[in-house]
Homo-oligomer: A and B are copies of this chain.
Amino acid sequence: MDSIEKVLNFIVEIEKLKDVQRQTRPVGLQRYENSAEHSWHVCLSALMLKDYANEAIDIDRVIKMLLIHDLGEIDAGDTIIYASETQQLKDEEAAGVQRLLNLLPDDNIAEEYMALWYEFEAGESADSKYAKAIDRVPPLLHNLHGNGHSWSKHDISKQQVFNLNSRIAQGSEKLWSVMAAKLEQAVESGILKPE
């Protein structure tokens, strides 16, 4: 098969990410978000918040990371982040990303992006700490601007929200301090239960 044909097959196959439903509704919409539009949203968010990263980051690598970070959900599905992330789920996602990248004609490219996906998952490098921080922001904004719809549906408390999202500070302390203040306001206004 021609190399371009192989890339086109990849392009058609990844389109399935548009059919993976997430756990929150975009601000102003009644439907739930899908993982493809979320991926666009976090890329542009990362770009515009890059000056608030704790450490020096390579924003172009961060964007590539975010473009592919959810591809594993095509085979494994999206799970709510407050559920425990099991090793089995992570293995399923990794296998799914590998399956997609194997469609590409260039093994080096497939290896490069598989490594980038693992780097994001590990969340240990400066780029991945920042990328993971950004990934958590839109669902919080959806709840903050959407009457806490996902928190109440899943019976999530302030403590759970803080336990999970305080990791935003690992990528950007400034961003977390702003988000934490908003979450405190959400508790005061009654859309996030205190405990």
CB within 8 Å of B: which residues of A?
A: 2, 4-5, 7-8, 10-12, 14-19, 26-29, 33-34, 36-37, 39-41, 43-45, 47-49, 52, 60, 63-64, 67-68, 104, 109, 137-138, 141, 145, 174-175, 178
Contact = CB atoms under 8 A, between A and B. Distances in A.
Across the A-B interface, give the 7 residue pairs with the lowest CB-CB distance, nearest first. A40-B40, A36-B37, A60-B60, A37-B37, A39-B40, A4-B178, A18-B37
B175 A4 contact: yes
Given A4-B174, A4-B178, A16-B28, A64 B41 contact: no
A178 to B, nearest CB: 5
Contacts of A7: 45, 48-49
B43 A11 contact: no
B41 A14 contact: yes
B4 A141 contact: no
22 contacts: A2-B178, A4-B49, A4-B52, A5-B178, A8-B178, A10-B48, A11-B45, A12-B141, A12-B145, A14-B41, A15-B26, A15-B27, A15-B28, A15-B138, A18-B26, A18-B33, A18-B37, A19-B26, A36-B36, A36-B41, A37-B40, A40-B40
